[in-house]
């Protein structure tokens, strides 16, 4: 039986948000959806870190969801959508949940409140209040190097018992914490790795899937890694990982998603690599490195076809 929790697995794409001349570029957005709907992905995350969600107005977020859902419906690929929301005050996030309750989404992705550094008891109370109010299931987002405080496993295990909390995007950057949580998590609590460079290790020890910016590129290879790991073909998975491992580091050489946006613009998937301040486009040195890698991978693909 298909339930929201069972859909929270496999390869999810944290979609970048294309801009042109300061506005949401709906043409490029539709082009992206048509492209990735034909790829082996299992879901989309909108308006999160990779989508520059904090730089979007509420009207833009609503339009983003509407355009993506419309394009998916037109194509006939009914991928689940997870919407990123964030903030500091619990009351503000409850207001955001109420505002988006009727939106055509399937999950929320919510990180710990940044800057204020609440205690674990505070985090437990915060996420419990949100889960009690949410109209759609919540995916917790543990990313302490951005939020300044992380969810420890004891807190995560308590939150995992809440019926409205479906799973976790794990970016704790601590392999031992990830392994311990995977070993101890209750049935039905889905764990998706979000650390691109460490994703292979997390999948090998039992993560249910991955939310990876790098999967904007080499999408088929990333999907193959998950497929091979699930089937127990670890040598095949390792061979696929070897083809993308360097890419997972290159795309984070400068603050994300600028390198990925540059790559997508250079390869014609979006019209512009434009970012919103305080985020900026990649510098000349990284642009040159990305150009070289784009050309190298294009040559490898052409050689395989030949």
Q: Which residues are catalytic?
A: 141, 169
Residue 222 pairs with which residues in a beta bridge? Answer: none
Q: How far apart are CA 140 and CA 95, in angstroms?
A: 18
Distances (CA, A) of 197 to 21, 99, 122, 201, 244: 32, 35, 30, 9, 9
Q: 147 a known binding residue?
A: no
User: Of 252, 50, 249, whose CA–CA distance to 141 is shortest?
Assistant: 50
Q: 211 a known binding residue?
A: yes
Q: Return the exposure string of 183-204: e unless at least 16 CB atoms fall within 10 Å of the residue's CB, then b.
A: eebeeebbbbbbbbbbbbebbe
- Contacts for 260-263: CB closer than 8 Å, 24+ residues apart: 260/16, 260/50, 260/213, 260/214, 260/216, 260/217, 261/16, 261/18, 262/286, 262/287, 262/290, 263/216, 263/217, 263/290, 263/294
Q: How far apart are CA 306 and CA 300, in angstroms?
A: 10
The annotated binding site is made up of 50, 211
The annotated binding site for pyruvate is made up of 50, 211
């Amino acid at each position: 039986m298909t339930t929201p929790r069972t859909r929270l697995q496999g390869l999810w794409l944290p979609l970048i948000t294309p801009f042109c001349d300061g506005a949401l570029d709906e043409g490029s957005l539709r082009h992206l959806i048509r492209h990735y709907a034909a790829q082996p992905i299992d879901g989309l995350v909108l308006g999160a870190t990779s989508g520059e969600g904090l730089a979007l107005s509420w009207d833009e977020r609503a339009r983003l969801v509407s355009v993506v859902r419309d394009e998916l419906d037109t194509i006939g690929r009914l991928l689940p959508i997870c919407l990123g929301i964030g903030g500091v005050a619990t009351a503000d996030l409850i207001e955001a949940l109420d505002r988006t309750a009727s939106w055509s989404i399937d999950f929320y992705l919510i990180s710990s409140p940044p800057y204020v550094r609440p205690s674990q008891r505070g985090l437990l109370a915060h996420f419990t209040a949100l889960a009690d109010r949410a109209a759609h299931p919540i995916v917790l987002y543990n990313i302490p190097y951005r939020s300044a405080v992380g969810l420890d496993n004891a807190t995560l295990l308590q939150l995992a018992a809440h019926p409205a909390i479906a799973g976790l995007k794990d970016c704790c950057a601590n392999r031992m914490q990830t392994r311990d949580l995977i070993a101890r998590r209750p049935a039905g609590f889905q764990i998706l790795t979000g650390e691109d460079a460490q994703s292979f290790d997390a999948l090998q020890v039992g993560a249910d899937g991955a939310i990876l910016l790098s999967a904007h590129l080499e999408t088929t290879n990333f999907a193959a890694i998950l497929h091979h790991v699930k089937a127990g073909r670890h040598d095949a998975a390792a061979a696929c990982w070897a083809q993308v491992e360097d890419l997972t580091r290159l795309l984070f050489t400068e603050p994300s998603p600028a390198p990925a946006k540059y790559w997508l613009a250079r390869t014609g998937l979006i019209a512009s690599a434009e970012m919103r301040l305080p985020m900026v486009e990649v510098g000349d040195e990284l642009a040159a490195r990305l150009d070289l890698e784009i050309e190298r991978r294009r040559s490898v693909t052409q050689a395989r076809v030949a």
